[in-house]
Amino acid sequence: MTAPLLDAEPLIHGQTFEEMTVGSAFRTAWRTITESDMVMFRQLTGFTEPLFLDSRHAGESGYSGTLVPGMLTFAYAEGLVLQTNVLHGTGIAFMHSEVDWLAPVYVGDTISVIVEVTASRPSKSGGRGVVTTRNTVVNQRDETVVTYTPVRMIRGRDFAGR
């Protein structure tokens, strides 16, 4: 490969913290949670609570289908955010979050995430910033099922890789 090709800019590059202005928002793609997703998640994590294994038991607890663990919904929500490439090459750290699970998610539900920047400021170390968003996870009926407020360290325009 010739040297000029090695210097080619990445096609996909996330936003710097300066580009993440308070009030800016976007919506991710959608994803349906399947029974296969549940099986793999249970095997990977050990979530063997009957609520997630037995729709009869879940029904006795007031649920109307196979319940999806909140952590699986959260993980898929974060995956949907990352698939937008908003943090591609600019995300440094996931520092904090508060999460509220507001409504059940069931196998077969389809989720999307609405991301709104609520705070963005330079960090003390320079070349980077701290960005807080309010992430609202909605189902196929546009019902809010989860909200969370991630605080992330994001590269700035002048980030030097320290």
Domain ranges of the chain: 13-155
Mean pLDDT of the chain, nearest integer = 93
DSSP 57-121: HHHHTT-SS-BPPHHHHHHHHHHHHHHTTTTTTTEEEEEE--EEE-S--BTT-EEEEEEEEEEEE
* Span of 7-11, 137-141, 156-160 with lowest mean pLDDT: 7-11
> What pLDDT score does 3 carry?
61
> What pLDDT score does 17 carry?
95
Provide mean pLDDT across the span 68-72.
96
Q: Global pTM?
A: 0.91
Q: How far is CA 97 from CA 94, 103, 108, in A?
A: 8, 19, 27
**Contact indicator for 138, 77 with CB cutoff of 8 Å:** no
d(CA 2, CA 4): 6
Question: 13-155: which CATH architecture?
Answer: Roll (3.10)
